[in-house]
Structure 1
Amino acid sequence: MISPWAVLAGAAVAGGVALLAAELRPAPPDLGSALDRLHRAPVRERSGARPVRTVWYDRLGDRLTASPGARIPYRELSLIGRTPARFMVQKLMFALIGLLLPAYLGAMAAVMDVGLPVILPVLAGPVLAAVLWLVPDAVARGEAKEARIEYLHAIASYLELVALERAADCGPADSLIRAAAVGRGAVFRRISEAIERAATDRLPPWDGLEALATELDLTPLQDVADIMRISGTDGAAVYDTLRARAKSLRAELLAEDLARANADSERMVAPGSALTMLMTVLIAFPALYQMLHSG
């Protein structure tokens, strides 16, 4: 008869694995929050209004970011729109899972009368915690790589829109503002926010784009700022320059896509060859067996 403690232990392990898989899987976008941002009316802050309280894990993450030796990939987190506090909380959660999982498995083995050395969970816990502590860094780098490609595609479209606004005889500053207002994606929203911050600081919009390009390390966005700065100060005609930069950026993105496709095709050669050899052996083996044992 199966012990109920073993059943509970198995259910707890399955729940922990499900929670870990849900944490690693990219979360779907919150449509309610997105619609609120799109149609949000401006609200003025009142002098007597209470400050918004942050949740406890954000406060914990803020303390962890100030701890000595904390290495935070600010640029990658800015690309994927994640705060350093949430990133540090994720790292702490993964480390705790790695630290407690071997002890839990050892306790489950003891309940099931399975002989397991006591020293094994003690040694495996810190090692697994150190390994899982690095998992959010790898996840953030992978998500930032995908987000960077998304940003570059959006910037190519933004270059075209700015060029069209300039062709419609809009001013340099108005061209940047109107082109950013056309898009509804996250990238265009970041560009609009950067331009609005520059306007709040009484700076031209290309200074806001330059600050955003420096924050995200996006050279094409820096090129947009430089081109429009020249147009704003010297009155230069930049329509052809903007179209040429958009064309070159799309060519770079296409070359990267082709390189990734070729790399994926090369990685598929070995499995395909192994499958072909296996099928050949399966087809030829009966005939060879019959020939060798026919006498």
Structure 2
Amino acid sequence: MITWLVVTGCLAGLGLALFVAELRPSPPELGVALERLHPDPALPGEAVTDREPDGAYEALGRRLRNFPGVTVPQRELALVGRSPERHLAQKLLSALLGLVAFPYVAFMGSLVGVSMPVLVPAVASLALAAGMWFLPDLLLRSQAAEARVDHLHAVAAYLELVALERAGDRGPAEALLSAARVGQGPVLRRISLALDRALLDRRPPWDGLSDLASELGLTPLQDLADTMRMAGTDGAAVYKTLRARAANLRGELLSDELARANVVSERMVLPGTALVMVFTLLVGFPAVSRMMQ
């Protein structure tokens, strides 16, 4: 029995380690970035097919995409830089872990002499598997929210850079390209790739910026694309507009940070109150106990 306990404990630890490793945010894939820079040509009206994924892990997720009713949060995945195939494979592995969790608990209980009806592990495992199927979606939303804030900070800096380039008497298209190549951050590199892709397609750079804004769901980036489109087609002066939009965006981000800080401060009131109550109870209990005696 001791040998079985050691073996099952090792397997449980290995499964938990693999589960935690799969839930960690994966780094952006180089192949996806190169594909955006050099997309396969497609005829007008022809649907652009995805690149054939490499590896059994992505192939499993690709097969899941063909099942009816399976939805993929495209914008959230684009913000965190994760492929839909990898996300679906994580959902499947999470559900399988939930499916085998309760039978494993029942098996461990049977080894120590605790038995339970067969219906209990069956129903509980199905319910846990359904809940674990949606767990990667919840984690993805949290990661996408953090990535969205990082993108907005980078867009605010990019607005300032474009305004400075325009103040240096550069053209609208040249200002967008030069400002994107100043920094080495992941967001600015992503903007630079979108602009280069638009140039390869013989389109204005603000069209590539608009495509990236639609992919990520970033309204300030779309506003920048519209503003530079007006500057490129109508010759409008956009320096003050860009500086004002950058200031407004930084103000909105600062307000959100202050709101989150206030929420965290309010959450700290309850633990502090509980600590004071426990300390008061420990100090006053001996005196009250002696009085009652």
TM-score between the two structures when normalised by the length of structure 1: 0.88
Tell me the CA shift for residue 275 of structure 1. 1.2
8 Å CA contact 1:160, 1:243 repeated in 2: yes
Aligned residue in 2 for 1:77:
77
Aligned residue in 2 for 1:123:
123
Q: Tell me the distance in 2 between the aligned counterparts of 1:196 and 1:184.
A: 15
8 Å CA contact 2:61, 2:87 repeated in 1: yes
1:108-163, CA deviations, whole angstroms, 9 ceiling, x for partnerless residues?
Answer: 32233322322222111211110100001101111100000000000000001101
1:154-186, CA deviations, whole angstroms, 9 ceiling, x for partnerless residues?
Answer: 000000110111111111101000110112111
Aligned residue in 1 for 2:47:
none
Alignment of 1:36-75 (within 5 A): 54-75=54-75
Q: Tell me the distance in 2 between the aligned counterparts of 1:147 and 1:61.
A: 23
Alignment of 1:162-241 (within 5 A): 162-241=162-241
Tell me the CA shift for residue 291 of structure 1. 4.0
Q: Tell me the distance in 1 between the aligned counterparts of 2:196 and 2:285.
A: 72
Q: 1:150 to 1:62 in 2, by over 3 A?
A: same
Q: Tell me the distance in 1 between the aligned counterparts of 2:78 and 2:280.
A: 52
Aligned residue in 2 for 1:99:
99
8 Å CA contact 1:6, 1:112 repeated in 2: no
Matched pairs, number: 278
Q: Tell me the distance in 2 between the aligned counterparts of 1:177 and 1:186.
A: 15
Structure 2 SS opposite 1:182? coil
8 Å CA contact 1:207, 1:225 repeated in 2: yes
Tell me which moved more, 103-112 or 127-136.
103-112
Alignment pair present for 1:22 and 2:21: yes
8 Å CA contact 2:151, 2:187 repeated in 1: yes
Structure 2 SS opposite 1:13? helix
Q: 1:284 to 1:53 in 2, by over 3 A?
A: closer
Tell me which moved more, 239-248 or 269-278.
269-278
- Structure of higher RCO (CA pairs closer than 8 Å, 6+ residues apart): 2
1:90-109, CA deviations, whole angstroms, 9 ceiling, x for partnerless residues?
Answer: 11111111112222222232
Aligned residue in 1 for 2:3:
4
Tell me the CA shift for residue 13 of structure 1. 1.3
8 Å CA contact 2:213, 2:222 repeated in 1: yes
Q: Tell me the distance in 1 between the aligned counterparts of 2:245 and 2:68.
A: 43
Tell me which moved more, 134-143 or 12-21.
12-21
Q: 1:283 to 1:111 in 2, by over 3 A?
A: closer
Aligned residue in 1 for 2:256:
256
Tell me the CA shift for residue 16 of structure 1. 1.6
Aligned residue in 1 for 2:266:
266
1:173-213, CA deviations, whole angstroms, 9 ceiling, x for partnerless residues?
Answer: 01000110112111111111111111111111111111111
Q: 1:18 to 1:59 in 2, by over 3 A?
A: closer
Q: Tell me the distance in 2 between the aligned counterparts of 1:23 and 1:68.
A: 25
Aligned residue in 2 for 1:153:
153
- The runs of 4+ residues in structure 1 deviating greater than 4 Å are none
Aligned residue in 2 for 1:132:
132
* Percent of pairs with identical residues: 53
Aligned residue in 2 for 1:13:
12
Aligned residue in 2 for 1:245:
245
Q: 1:116 to 1:151 in 2, by over 3 A?
A: same
Tell me the CA shift for residue 52 of structure 1. 7.8
Q: Tell me the distance in 2 between the aligned counterparts of 1:24 and 1:66.
A: 23
Structure 1 SS opposite 2:169? coil
Q: Tell me the distance in 2 between the aligned counterparts of 1:109 and 1:10.
A: 13
Q: 1:119 to 1:217 in 2, by over 3 A?
A: same
Q: Tell me the distance in 2 between the aligned counterparts of 1:121 and 1:247.
A: 57
8 Å CA contact 1:163, 1:243 repeated in 2: yes
The amino acid that maps onto 1:19 is: L
TM-score between the two structures when normalised by the length of structure 2: 0.88
The amino acid that maps onto 1:9 is: T
